[in-house]
Structure 1
Amino acid sequence: MADNNQQNNNAPQEDVGRLRQVRRDKLSELQAAGRDPFKIVKYDQTHHTKEIRDNFDSLEFVPPVDEEGKAVVVPLSDIPSEKLVSLAGRMMSKRVMGKASFANLQDRDGRMQLYVSRNDLGDEAYADFKKMDIGDIIGVKGFAFRTKTGEISVHVKELVLLSKSLMPLPEKFHGLTDTEIRYRQRYVDLIMNEDVKETFKKRSAIIREIRNFLADRDFMEVETPMLVENAGGAAARPFFTHYNALDEERKLRISLELYLKRLIVGGMERVFEIGRVFRNEGTDTRHNPEFTLMELYQAYTDYEGMMELTESMFRYLAEKVCGTTQIPYGDNIIDLGKPFERLTMNDAIKKYAGVDFDTVKTDEEAKAIAKERGVEFEDRHTKGDIINLFFEEFCEEKLIQPTFIMDHPLAISPLTKKKPSDPEKVERFELFINTWEMCNAYSELNDPIDQRERFAAQDANAAAGDEEAEHTDEDFLNALEIGMPPTGGIGYGIDRLCMLLTNSAGIRDVLLFPTLKSLDK
């Protein structure tokens, strides 16, 4: 039984099993004949589909015609070498029409129509082609031409089966639409949905251009440990693991901060890292337990310097990757071209909630206002914590266009320098776009005595049951005592940045392999 049509991914299991068996039988026949495709180790691929389209004028070959005006069958050996193309990929469709057929080959860059005829391949090879299935990986050699309808195609002179597909692909008209299957079987998703592949090409371009931007500013890329004794640098619950060789408990890092600051102490001055971090939290459209974080630190600057760098980098990325600073996201157009708005956290609350916390002097006053406005808090919370709760409740949803929220409360910023003009606040900002926090930056605290006191306060919070509190890191304090220069630092969530620049609705759409619950649970 021939299996030349794609199958719906929702087909009954018995149908899928039957079609798989048909394909296995075809493989057995090939192996019995000494033509096992899985024994082929390489293929000379000279072109991709995009290269053929981009260079068609120089690649096009027009065969001679006979006295009746019909194209002459030209042997492969007689085609000029500069006109020969050899491409490889997955066969996505096939239309057999007697002695001649059309097929579509899909490679890394897109699809290309193939013209396949018995006159070119010979009877045996053409018969083999007719038995091939959608999803098989093939290699073809031939020349580029334009069909009567104007479509750039490849006239196949030689065709080889490189790998046999034993599982039917989803049916072509409906594609792969089941979100759960798309995330679990990303390899099928990439085959069937071209826009998904384009999203991840753009993600790769975003990370490449970040590196280019920072290289132009003389930053050095470094790597720091993932398995750590003290998972510091952020407020998050860590994952735990056991280091067998040392018989010690370790944690997976939740941040990159404390090791990168050690490098600033060591005199590197400008460093950054792009890497995976791990936080033992739930999942939603903006959170995944493992995600990609970039942090950078620059000596002899402050959070104002980090604002300039951030605004410049976001604008650069939009222009390089998207070709415009007017970025569509959902129903909005995000304007990365104009200067980003700047608001203090208290001014944002005053603007959107009508409460001026600059006039609130005590924790008790702040709690009373929270009760009045229906903002839930815990007994241990201070005025600074309640300011942050107000901001999250009343302000974040209003911040669509790029806005720097500055000067956070000291209580929620244990690694940040105090503002000289107001010791209850720190020199910190977060950039919000489309209601999301896109990055978090500080004038970094470099006073080891002050830092020890703040770690002690975090230890007290942990003892009171705060699982996200930081803990004292003695080696980091030792580094600060050696001496760290004034430094600006910042952390960017790369996945949210990719969501923004690719107009993706959820974080799983920009993670090739997002975290999912096991199927057997």
Structure 2
Amino acid sequence: MTNAQNTTPTVQDQAAEQAELSEQMQFRLAKRARLLESGREAYPVGVERTHTLAQVRQAHGHLEPGEETGQFVGVAGRVVFVRNTGKLCFATLQEGDGTRLQVMLSLAKVGEESLAEWKQLVDLGDFVAVHGEVVASRRGELSVMADAWSMASKALRPLPTLHNELNDETRVRRRYLDLIVRPEARDVVVKRARIIQTVRNVLVERGYVEIETPILQLVHGGASARPFETHLNAFDQDMTLRIATELYLKRAVVGGIERVFEIGRVFRNEGVDSSHSPEFTTLEAYEAYADQFTMAERIQEIILACADALGVDTIETERGTIDLRGPWRWLSVYPALSEAVGRTITPRTPVEELRRVAEEHEVAVDPAWDAEKHVLELFGEIVEPTLLQPTFVCDYPPSAQPLARQHRSEHGLIEAWDLIIGGMERGTAFSELIDPVVQRERLTEQSRRAAAGDAEAMRLDEDFLRALEHGAPPMGGLGLGLDRLIMLFTDLGIRETILFPLMKPEQD
């Protein structure tokens, strides 16, 4: 087995591969039949496994060549290497975490019939169970000298080899093969789990309560995005998959759960690229009596705790070194954009001038956009990609976040930030809008945009407004894209950080 390659197979290559695969599968199916005919199981309920391969390695890692321990173990694993000679056979077993261990089968120990069956029936990719003594081979390789073996699971398809390498697309489509072949793929799974557990631990230690909110929703909201639509037959009701968890979490805060969070999948029927997936995992957290500055402290604490869990302070990227322990600066949208384009941009800059700026900097804009939308697009295309170090981009125009409160001191702005690291948005937060009258005005305007054909505009959610009308405490809210956080710590695209990402169907 080898590391994945970036080659894309030709039609001829694929045809030859399928022909070879079909032949190999026929051989393996015949071996399966032979096992069953002989009264042996090809897929037993269980096997005698007294030790993992890692435990054997840990207990006997320093044997001298030819040394015998007198300890007998039962081990099991996938066969990833096999070499059969006359009276002695060698195989390497691999278990889930990638640990490998050699097993040896000799004519003297297992007998003629058992050794012959091994040679005839075992292929690369099979799971086998081996019982025997822990020894070191004559070359000093830690091994189990078998006195018995059995099939644990007969593989009918071959593993990737030098003659059948995994290209990038196949790795993602058939992630199970990627996990078998590449330690790097298994490492990403472990890192992802560690990061998500760390995020959860930080919030729980801060007194947050984890809850679950509906995935099927009558009214989608909490973000500007196109939803997936479905139909609930039991109610004869059109519904959508959630695009965010925000509005239900805020309902919980209204109800008295003052610190609340959810880690879960959300779904947006939008484009797919190296940083966007139709389904992805988010953290959203809300805290009563907090504001955007409180939530900035929370996200910094979360990300630094993840860095500690992974043992890193800096992250190396193609664009430079990200220093997570350095200062996390604040950057206002309008002054930063003004500096980048060489002219003063304010909330009062007319849309015609913004169109000229876009043309000068070759930024594509829609003539129907208003001034605020132009500012957001210009900032995202010109300034955001330059922000390598952790930066809280703040002081947005109101349309950027319809659920954020107006700025306490700057007219025409809202209290919201996006955290940019490595030129990419990683999270967002605001001082939440809790005035039900203003919130109704904002959502009504969003609803008008939706009626005019804006597929990403929010809908008017009367039940959410009803909750606010009962009185909501001042609160801060935080959203963190966990896939993008994992991308940050692994320097990988989003398809590599999601174990089984959505893919187009394979073509025949």
Give me the TM-score of the superposition, normalised by structure 1: 0.89
3-state DSSP of counterpart to 2:148: strand
Gaps of 5+ in 1: 1-7, 65-70
Once the two structures are superposed, the pairs formed by residues 426-505 of structure 1 within 5 Å of their partners are 426-504=414-492
Question: Which residue does 1:507 correspond to in 2?
Answer: 494
Matched, 1:338 2:316: no
3-state DSSP of counterpart to 2:81: strand
Gaps of 5+ in 2: 1-8
- Is contact 1:90-1:107 (8 Å) kept? yes
Moved over 6 A (4+): 60-64
Question: Which residue does 1:206 correspond to in 2?
Answer: 195
Matched, 1:43 2:73: no
Matched, 1:31 2:36: yes
Q: 1:168 to 1:63 in 2, by over 3 A?
A: closer
Question: Which residue does 1:253 correspond to in 2?
Answer: 242
How much has 1:188 moved relative to structure 2? 1.3
Once the two structures are superposed, the pairs formed by residues 39-118 of structure 1 within 5 Å of their partners are 40-56=44-60, 79=70, 83-110=71-98, 111-118=100-107
Q: 1:14 to 1:411 in 2, by over 3 A?
A: closer
Identical amino acids, percent of aligned pairs: 40
> Quick one: distance in 2 between partners of 1:180 and 1:515?
12
> Quick one: distance in 2 between partners of 1:483 and 1:145?
72
Give the superposed CA RMSD: 2.3
- Is contact 1:61-1:144 (8 Å) kept? no
Question: Which residue does 2:27 correspond to in 1?
Answer: 22
Tell me which amino acid in the other structure corresponds to 1:14.
Answer: A
How much has 1:463 moved relative to structure 2? 2.0
Question: Which residue does 2:393 correspond to in 1?
Answer: 405
Tell me which amino acid in the other structure corresponds to 1:15.
Answer: E
> Quick one: distance in 2 between partners of 1:477 and 1:226?
19
3-state DSSP of counterpart to 1:427: strand
Question: Which residue does 2:297 correspond to in 1?
Answer: 308
How much has 1:54 moved relative to structure 2? 2.9
> Quick one: distance in 2 between partners of 1:203 and 1:288?
16
3-state DSSP of counterpart to 2:464: helix
- Is contact 2:347-2:372 (8 Å) kept? no
Matched, 1:178 2:182: no
Question: Which residue does 2:148 correspond to in 1?
Answer: 158
How much has 1:106 moved relative to structure 2? 0.8
> Quick one: distance in 2 between partners of 1:402 and 1:46?
49
- Is contact 1:442-1:488 (8 Å) kept? yes
Question: Which residue does 2:207 correspond to in 1?
Answer: 218
3-state DSSP of counterpart to 1:52: helix
How much has 1:249 moved relative to structure 2? 0.5
Tell me which amino acid in the other structure corresponds to 1:212.
Answer: N
How much has 1:364 moved relative to structure 2? 5.0
- Is contact 2:65-2:136 (8 Å) kept? no
Question: Which residue does 2:5 correspond to in 1?
Answer: none
Tell me which amino acid in the other structure corresponds to 2:153.
Answer: S
3-state DSSP of counterpart to 1:355: coil
> Quick one: distance in 2 between partners of 1:302 and 1:469?
25
Matched, 1:130 2:134: no
> Quick one: distance in 2 between partners of 1:348 and 1:142?
69
> Quick one: distance in 2 between partners of 1:489 and 1:316?
19
> Quick one: distance in 1 between partners of 2:349 and 2:164?
60
Residue range with higher mean Cα deviation, 145-154 or 271-280: 145-154
- Is contact 1:417-1:427 (8 Å) kept? yes
> Quick one: distance in 2 between partners of 1:339 and 1:51?
44
Question: Which residue does 2:374 correspond to in 1?
Answer: 386
3-state DSSP of counterpart to 2:346: helix
Tell me which amino acid in the other structure corresponds to 1:435.
Answer: G
Residue range with higher mean Cα deviation, 150-159 or 432-441: 150-159
> Quick one: distance in 2 between partners of 1:473 and 1:486?
20
Give me the TM-score of the superposition, normalised by structure 2: 0.92
3-state DSSP of counterpart to 1:204: helix
Count of residues paired in the alignment? 494
Matched, 1:325 2:330: no
3-state DSSP of counterpart to 2:234: coil
How much has 1:49 moved relative to structure 2? 2.7
> Quick one: distance in 2 between partners of 1:181 and 1:340?
39
Q: 1:109 to 1:84 in 2, by over 3 A?
A: farther
Question: Which residue does 1:5 correspond to in 2?
Answer: none
